[in-house]
Amino acid sequence: MAGPTQVTPVVCIVDDDISVRESLEAMISFAGFNALAFTSAQEFLGHPRATVPNCLVLDVDLPGLNGLELQHLIAAERSDTPIIFITGCGDIPTTVRAMKAGAADFLTKPFDDTVLLEAIHQAIERSRRTVHAGTEVKALQERYASLSQRERDVMELVVSGLLNKQVGGELGISEVTVKTHRGKVMRKMHAGSLADLVAMAGRLRAAPPTKVSAIPLYYG
> What CATH number did the domain enclosing 193 receive?
1.10.10.10
78/172: higher pLDDT: 172
Residue 89 class from Cβ within 10 Å (0-12 exposed, 13-18 middle, 19+ buried)? exposed
Give the per-residue pLDDT at 136.
86
CB-based burial of residue 66 (10 Å sphere; 0-12 exposed, 13-18 middle, 19+ buried)? middle
pLDDT of res. 33: 97
Q: Are residues 17 and 103 in the same domain?
A: yes
Q: If pLDDT is split at 50, 70 and 90, which confidence band does 208 have?
A: low
User: Which run of H or of E encompasses 7?
Assistant: none
* pLDDT at res. 218: 44
- What residues form DSSP beta bridges with 85? 58, 106
107 Cβ contact partners less than 8 Å away, ≥ 6 residues apart: 84, 85, 86, 87, 115, 116, 119
Question: Which structural domain range is residue 25 located in?
Answer: 10-137
**Domain boundary residue, one of 137, 166, 192:** 137
At 212, is the pLDDT very low, low, confident or very high (cuts 50, 70, 90)? very low
Q: Looking at the domain assignment, is residue 215 inside a domain?
A: no
Q: What is the helix (H) or strand (E) element at residue 56, kind and residue range?
A: strand 54-59
User: What residues form DSSP beta bridges with 107?
Assistant: 86
Residue 213 has pLDDT above 90, yes or no: no
Residue 119 has pLDDT above 80, yes or no: yes
For the cut 60, the answer to whether the pLDDT of residue 210 exceeds it is no
Secondary structure of residue 143 in the 3-state scheme:
helix
Region 171-189: mean pLDDT is 96
On the question of pLDDT at 23 being above 70, the answer is yes
User: If pLDDT is split at 50, 70 and 90, which confidence band does 220 have?
Assistant: very low
How does pLDDT run across 98-107, given as a tens digit for each residue? 888 889 999 9
Residue 132: inside a domain, yes or no?
yes
Cβ-based neighbour number of residue 155 at 10 Å: 28
Q: Residue 2: inside a domain, yes or no?
A: no
Same domain? 176 vs 130: no
For residues 94 and 192, state if they share a domain.
Answer: no
pLDDT of 32 strictly over 60: yes
- The full length of the chain comes to 220
Number of domains in the chain: 2
- pLDDT for residue 143 is more than 70: yes
Q: What is the pLDDT of residue 3?
A: 43
DSSP state of 83: E
Cα separation of 159 and 37, whole Å?
48
Domain match, 63 and 83 both: yes
Task: Verify that 27 and 110 share a domain, yes or no.
Answer: yes
The Cα–Cα gap between 10 and 18 comes to 20
3-state secondary structure of 35: strand
Higher pLDDT, 178 or 212: 178
